[in-house]
Amino acid sequence: MFDSLKKKFSRTSEKLEEELIEEAKQEDNIEEETGGRFSFFSFGRKKEKTEEAEEEGNLLPEAEEEGPVEEETPEVEEEVAEEEEEEPKKKSRFWSRNKDKEEETSEEEGEEKEEKEEKSRFWSRKPKESADGEAKGGVFSFAREKTIKEKHVEDILFELEMELLQGDVAMEVATDVVESVKDNLVGKKIKRSNDVTEYTYYALKDAVKEIIDIPGKSMTEMLEEKVAQGEPLVVMFVGINGTGKTTTIGKLANYYLKKGYTPVIAASDTFRAGAIEQVTHHADNVGVKIIKHQKGSDPAAVAYDAVEHAKAQGKELVLIDTAGRMQTNTNLMDEMKKIKRVANPDLVIFVGDAITGNDATEQARKFNEAIDIDGVILTKADADSKGGASLSIGYVIKKPIMFLGVGQGYDDIMEYDADWMLDQLFSDDEEVVDEA
């Protein structure tokens, strides 16, 4: 899930590290240390494990907290001294871009081999991770502390912004993420190359957290409040055809039935006989009551009858299906406003398809302008590798995501949690989604 965004974030960290190391090398301000460096995601796991250990009172040795740096033996000191003597020659070879490939003396072949080893060791961008989450590439320190300046991040963050836009992240979201990361990074003091990974990791994580954490009550909290008042929670679902709206209603009926509530479904999509049959099929499979009229009847009347039925029978939840419609269809949007006026729902939820990216965000914006929605459910989130809609939709319309569809079955739905989403975006681990 969200593999594309993970790669973009990781590349930003790598490119900034390269930028600073290259500059430090030109300034003759760099030393290689023993030990492994943290990759972008392994760094996050390492720091989280350290924090957990500290909370339990099992403090790790100081060397472990800062990244393992082994004490140099006399033999290592001799090797470092030899490398320092050879540095001017290696430096010259490292930056040479126009080698004469026609001269093939054994001496030059040896130099080229040495150069490749140096490049590989210095610039390895995809290091293998050890069991403790560290990468096997080199760790570098700066003899004179470096400060991240605007010139270091300008091109890198421009690339990040372009990549976010290509990943279906909304323009305003991509811009705000980049500006936040820039504000957090510029001015940071860097002593070791691992510091670059740390600062970039948390700068990106803080920026994304602000984007995805939209305040608002969950549907379950609202349901509990309505039950305490002796009233049903009335929820109206809107969206265009093909996003999985009717299936989502079946999933939610199943979800709350298992929590001990009694839902009722209103088949207010009366424009198509097939729509009534479809929602009836889901209601029968889950085992809940459905209120329906004939094709072509008044959708608002169906919604009204479902609410009255819930009140009379003591049912706690009314789920109103509506006709899928394009946000540009004025007549159908007016009909939807009538349903809202008659049924007086506590929640109006837009159902969007996560893998449609910017289309889902734009649809949500239009529906919000027309009918003032209260929240969002994103379907097919499990198949969303780009993550653009998940990152953008709530922030653009300033309304919370309430649920995510994560599969085809009735149990494949989960309440949205910003912390869980953040973990998905900044963890390299494959986690099993728990819908319970």
Q: Which two tokens stand for residue 78?
A: 């001799």
**Mean pLDDT taken over the chain:** 78
CB neighbour list of residue 375: distance below 8 Å, 6 or more residues apart: 216, 219, 347, 348, 349, 350, 399, 400, 401, 402
Pick from 287, 289, 257: nearest CA to 413: 257
98 has a pLDDT exceeding 50: no
Q: 242-267 as b/e, with b when 16 or more CB fall inside 10 Å? A: ebbbbbbbbbbbbbbbeeebbbbbbb
What whole-number distance in Å separates Cα of residue 309 and Cα of residue 303? 10
263 has a pLDDT exceeding 60: yes
Query: Residue 243: which pLDDT band, with cuts at 50, 70 and 90?
Result: confident
User: Residue 61 has what pLDDT?
Assistant: 38
329 has a pLDDT exceeding 90: no
Rg of the chain over CA atoms, in angstroms?
28
Backbone angles phi, psi at 419, to 5 degrees: -65, -40
DSSP for residue 58:
-
Q: Which helix (H) or strand (E) holds 64?
A: helix 62-66
184 has a pLDDT exceeding 90: yes
Full DSSP string of 78-89: HHHHHHHHHHHH
Q: DSSP E strands: which ranges in 322-390?
A: 347-353, 375-379
The tally of CA atoms less than 13 A away on the side-chain side of residue 160 is 29
What whole-number distance in Å separates Cα of residue 377 and Cα of residue 390? 10
Q: Which two tokens stand for residue 248?
A: 């989502």
Q: In this structure, how many other beta carbons lie within 10 angstroms of the beta carbon of residue 154?
A: 12
305 has a pLDDT exceeding 70: yes
Q: 357 with 385: CB under 8 angstroms?
A: no
Q: In this structure, how many other beta carbons lie within 10 angstroms of the beta carbon of residue 329?
A: 13
Pick from 430, 16, 433: nearest CA to 197: 16
User: Residue 172 has what pLDDT?
Assistant: 92
User: Residue 379 has what pLDDT?
Assistant: 93
Q: Which two tokens stand for residue 68?
A: 């393992």
User: Residue 32 has what pLDDT?
Assistant: 66
> CA separation (Å) from 41 to 38, 45, 155, 201, 208?
8, 7, 23, 8, 15
Judged by average pLDDT, the poorest of 103-112, 352-361, 394-403 is: 103-112
Encode pLDDT of 339-394 as tens digits: 999 999 999 999 999 888 888 899 999 899 989 999 999 999 888 767 778 888 99
User: Residue 11 has what pLDDT?
Assistant: 85
Q: 197 with 286: CB under 8 angstroms?
A: no
CB neighbour list of residue 201: distance below 8 Å, 6 or more residues apart: 13, 40, 43, 44, 426
Query: Residue 91: which pLDDT band, with cuts at 50, 70 and 90?
Result: very low
Full DSSP string of 266-318: EE---S-HHHHHHHHHHHHHHT-EEE---TTS-HHHHHHHHHHHHHHHT--EE
Give me the count of residues in the chain: 436
Residue ranges of domains in the chain, CATH in brackets: 3-71+111-212 (1.20.120.140), 219-425 (3.40.50.300)
Encode pLDDT of 109-166 as tens digits: 555 555 444 443 333 444 444 444 444 455 666 767 788 889 989 999 999 999 899 8
What whole-number distance in Å separates Cα of residue 6 and Cα of residue 348? 32
336 has a pLDDT exceeding 50: yes
